[in-house]
């Protein structure tokens, strides 16, 4: 379990993930955050009846807490998304023993929303919050999709990202783990704060001082169509 947790980036084996994601291009970061996590989650899914409940629950709560807490003071978007991934992994790990199918549902929706965010950021060439602030006047439609996707990733109702968290809280309550469900729900509010900050940055209008994002948006049509489709799926 500890070896798989290290591969996933669960606390306390998370140290490598934010730094690696920060030093990677956005497309590589997308693969690290989604496709590379599928094999270890599959192993946990297959061995879920024999997993240690206390160990996984402890790592899940710590991951949710640290993912939210460490993301608060970040200005690099890739590091924010890395701590977001750690926080979401906490939700997946806490329920995999009781209802493995919910973990897969959570992972599929997380991968869909994360792919939308990474591909959108790659289209507008945004790496920092300051760069993100200049994109609203250039590509308002793309920023609107990014805004809704970030809110969905935060788990705000009635967007799609709220569904797995709601189902996980229900399942934990059925397993007589209402205090645990309450703790992880409150800790997820830390993550909600930096999601809202990211969403707020997409609506701020500053004088543009970067490259012509509108030109980039028009000259990358295949990627833009894919971003639009993923965004529609992830917020409805």
pLDDT for 124: 82
Which residue has 């200049």 as its token pair? 134
| Confidence category of residue 230, pLDDT binned at 50, 70, 90 | low
| Confidence category of residue 216, pLDDT binned at 50, 70, 90 | very low
Q: Stretch 25-51: mean pLDDT, rounded?
A: 91
pLDDT for 218: 47
Q: What is the pLDDT of residues 186-196, one digit of tens each?
A: 988 888 888 88
Q: Stretch 152-158: mean pLDDT, rounded?
A: 86
Average per-residue pLDDT for the chain: 83
* pLDDT higher than threshold 90 for residue 139: no
* pLDDT higher than threshold 80 for residue 201: no
- Cis peptide bond N-terminal to 132, omega within 30: no
| Confidence category of residue 122, pLDDT binned at 50, 70, 90 | confident
Residues 6+ apart with CB under 8 A from 169: 181, 185
For residue 76, list its beta bridge partners: 128
Q: Stretch 148-156: mean pLDDT, rounded?
A: 87
pLDDT for 95: 92
CA distance 214 to 123: 10
For residue 128, list its beta bridge partners: 76
Q: Stretch 149-163: mean pLDDT, rounded?
A: 87
| Confidence category of residue 209, pLDDT binned at 50, 70, 90 | very low
* pLDDT higher than threshold 50 for residue 203: yes
Q: What is the pLDDT of residues 54-113, one digit of tens each?
A: 999 999 999 999 988 888 888 788 888 999 999 999 999 999 999 999 999 999 999 999
Percent of the chain residues topping a pLDDT of 70: 84
Q: Stretch 47-56: mean pLDDT, rounded?
A: 89
Q: Stretch 158-166: mean pLDDT, rounded?
A: 89
CA distance 172 to 72: 27
């Amino acid at each position: 379990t500890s070896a798989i947790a290290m591969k996933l980036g669960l606390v306390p084996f998370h140290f490598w993930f934010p730094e690696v994601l920060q030093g990677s291009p956005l497309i590589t970061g997308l693969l690290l955050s989604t496709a590379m996590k599928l094999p270890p989650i599959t192993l946990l899914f297959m061995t879920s009846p024999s997993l240690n409940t206390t160990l996984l629950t402890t790592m899940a709560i710590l991951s949710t807490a640290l993912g939210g807490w460490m993301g608060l003071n970040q200005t690099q978007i890739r590091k924010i998304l890395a701590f977001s991934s750690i926080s979401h992994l906490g939700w997946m790990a806490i329920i995999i023993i009781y209802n493995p199918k919910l973990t897969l549902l959570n992972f599929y929706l997380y991968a869909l929303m994360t792919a939308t965010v990474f591909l959108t950021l790659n289209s507008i060439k945004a790496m920092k919050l300051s760069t993100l602030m200049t994109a609203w006047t250039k590509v308002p439609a793309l920023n609107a999709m990014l805004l809704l996707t970030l809110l969905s990733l935060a788990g705000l109702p009635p967007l799609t990202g709220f569904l797995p968290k709601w189902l996980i809280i229900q399942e934990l309550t059925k397993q007589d783990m209402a205090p645990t469900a309450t703790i992880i729900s409150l800790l997820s509010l830390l993550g909600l704060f930096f999601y809202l900050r990211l969403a707020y940055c997409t609506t701020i209008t500053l004088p543009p001082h970067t490259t012509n994002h509108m030109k980039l948006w028009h000259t990358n049509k295949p990627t833009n169509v894919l971003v639009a489709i993923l965004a529609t799926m992830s917020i409805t």
